[in-house]
Every structure is written in structure tokens, then in C-alpha cells.
Amino acid sequence: MNQKVLVTGGTGYIGSHTIIDLIENGYEVVCVDNGSNSDTSSLAAVKDITGIDVSYYHLDLCELDGVKRIFDEHPDIKGVIHFAALKAVGESVEQPIRYFRNNLDSLINILDVATQNHVEALIFSSSCTVYGDVTHSPVTEETPLQEAASPYGRTKQMGEQMITDSLKNSSVKSILLRYFNPAGAHPSAKLGESPVNPAQNLVPVITETAIGKRKEMTVFGDDYPTRDGSAIRDYIHVVDLAHAHTLALRYIFEGKQQVSTDVFNVGIGNGLSVLEIIHAFESQTGEKLNYKVGSRRAGDIMAIYSDYSKAKNLLGWEPKLDVNDIMRSAWAWEKERTGRQNQ
């Protein structure tokens, strides 16, 4: 019998790609999402790609009774992958209380119910924002955490600590996956980043500009002390990132994790600037982007990229796709979804 996994935030960008990877690796999936920044069209795409109709709950994880109901109806859930969270850095600066309430209340409820129901594994969607404004890259899991540059980053720092403290004397084992910058789309072009609210992440902003949904895009700052003045990030293909969650679950399920909570960086291992990403898109697609340079954005840091050797050594994970794959797949997805919207 397949092991059952609850995926929170499962209709979202990373969640839906991870559901596909879980199904392809033999897991049964239950999905929950409140639809605040995604809709169930992603689950229709999951069914189209995998042939599986995923069990779905539309509810807010900040409501404890709703979380309990999922586990009452699926007492055989063995693992939880917790994506559900608000995630826009700039918005979190403007609406900090909303971010703290949503991201932390939902996690408390997941921890409460998961421990009561003796799940074996909790995989937490953390972020490189926990490192704060680092002075040196690449960062390892041992790099000291600095002051978070945004309330969003603070919720991830606090979330990591809450999990570590809550599970210290529990049978539940957890892995904190610190993502860098997910981008790209499923190779089928049937699934990709499709936020309900205006896109905030760089790559969908690029593709929306190229296809004409935006007249122009803004590069936030060209006065950073970097090689071209724009901020540097580590862009990881969402398909590679999705597989890291499956491997993390398997690592715990197979009894390989000795500590209560462990942490892994998940990135591609080198940094690209915003302008380099724009030029990579132009070279891969032949499209010319209309962009302007604006001032720096609150909450952004200058540069960060990962050392993922721990994930490679223990989980057997490493990225297989690069920035060119990201750009080609993101553009194929943008053209596909825009064509659907215009039909």
C-alpha cells in the first residue's frame, strides 16, 4: 500500500509540482489549500499529467478544526509537506501582522495535529531568507543566521525554530528545506507558476512582460556592489526542487535520519544577477524585454547563493536543470496559459 502524504499549499506553484513528483514516485497524496494565491486548475493539470485525481480540501489551515478533520478522514497520513504560507517579501514589509498570523498560526496547527496523529515525517518549506543579508556566498547550513531582512524571512526563521522545539521530544522527524529562487515550469507546459494575484517573482514577471500582459518590468536597483549592479540570486528549476521533497520524505521514511530535525539547502550552487536572468531569457527565446531600472525594493538583499553539498551527500539530490531550461520551460508555459486565457 502506498504511503499517504498531506501536501499543504498543494495547488500552489511548488506544491503542485511536488505532488506530481510524489505521485510519480509511488506516494498517495492528499492536498489542502485555501486558494489565496492559486486555484484548482493546477490539480486538473496534475490529473492530466499523472492520471491521478488528488483528494482535495479547500480550507484555511489557521482553523484548527479543519486541520483535525483532514486527519480524522485520513488517519493513515504518514508524512506532511508544509508549503502553505504567504510569500511575497515586499508585501510582508507592508503587511507584517498578516504574514505573522497566517504563516505561524497555520504551522502551529499542523504541528499540533501532526504530533497527535504520530505522523513520521514533516518537510517544511523554508527559505534562504532565513540567512538574512549575508556577507559571503555560497552559504552552507552552518552559516550563521543574520537578522531577517523582511517579516516574511522572519516567519521562516521563527517557523524553523518552532518546528525544532516542538518536535525535540516527539516521534515526528522533520527536515527544513531552505529553497533559493524557484523558477521554470513542468516540461509538459501544462503546469507552471500561475499566481492569482499579480506576479512578484522575477521569472513570471519577465514572461508576462514578454507576452504583453505588462507594458514593462522594473529591475529593482542597479547600484548594488555586484558585477552589473543588480541583485544576485540562486535560481533553481521547480522540477528539481520538487524532487528534493520526495527525497527528503524518503530519507526519513527509510530511517536514515538520526536527529529530530535536520536542514538542507536546495539551490543550484551559483548566483545570477537580475540582468543576467533577463539576458538569458532573451537569448533562449529571441524575445526582447522592455524593462526599466527602479530603486531598490524594501526587504531585498544584495546577493545570496547556495552550497547544496549536504543535500547531495545525504539525500542524494542535485540539480539536473539550469537557467536555460528554466527560461525555455517558463516561456513555453506562459504561451500555453495565455493561449488558454484568450480562448
Residue 341 lies in a domain: no
The string of pLDDT tens digits covering residues 243-253 is 999 999 999 99
340 pLDDT exceeds 70? no
Q: Is the peptide bond before 138 cis (omega within 30 degrees of 0)?
A: yes
Whether residue 314 is contained in a domain is answered as: no
Q: Which of 152, 224, 235, 308 is catalytic?
A: 152
Query: How many structural domains is the chain composed of?
Result: 1
Please tell me the predicted confidence (pLDDT) of residue 195. Answer: 76
Is residue 299 scored above 90 in pLDDT? Answer: no
Q: What is the pLDDT of residue 197?
A: 76
Residue 343 predicted with pLDDT over 60:
no
Residues of the domain holding 69? 4-186+235-267
- Is residue 229 in some structural domain? no
Residue 91 placed within a domain:
yes
Predicted TM-score (pTM) of this structure:
0.96
pLDDT average, residue stretch 182-198: 91
> 149 lies in a domain?
yes
Is 13 considered catalytic here?
no
Residue 338: the pLDDT is 85
pLDDT of amino acid 342? 62
Could you tell me the CATH number of the domain that includes residue 114? Answer: 3.40.50.720
Please check whether residue 310 lies inside any domain of the structure.
no
Contacts of 4 (CB under 8 A, 6+ apart): 27, 28, 29, 30, 74, 76, 77, 78, 79
Residues 193-205 have pLDDT tens digits of 987 778 889 999 9
Q: Which three cell numbers stand for residue 217?
A: 518590468
- Asked whether residue 24 carries a pLDDT value surpassing 50, the answer given is yes
- The answer to whether residue 105 sits within a structural domain is yes
Q: Does residue 316 sit within a domain?
A: no
Going by pLDDT thresholds of 50, 70 and 90, the confidence category of residue 182 is very high
Averaged pLDDT of the chain: 96
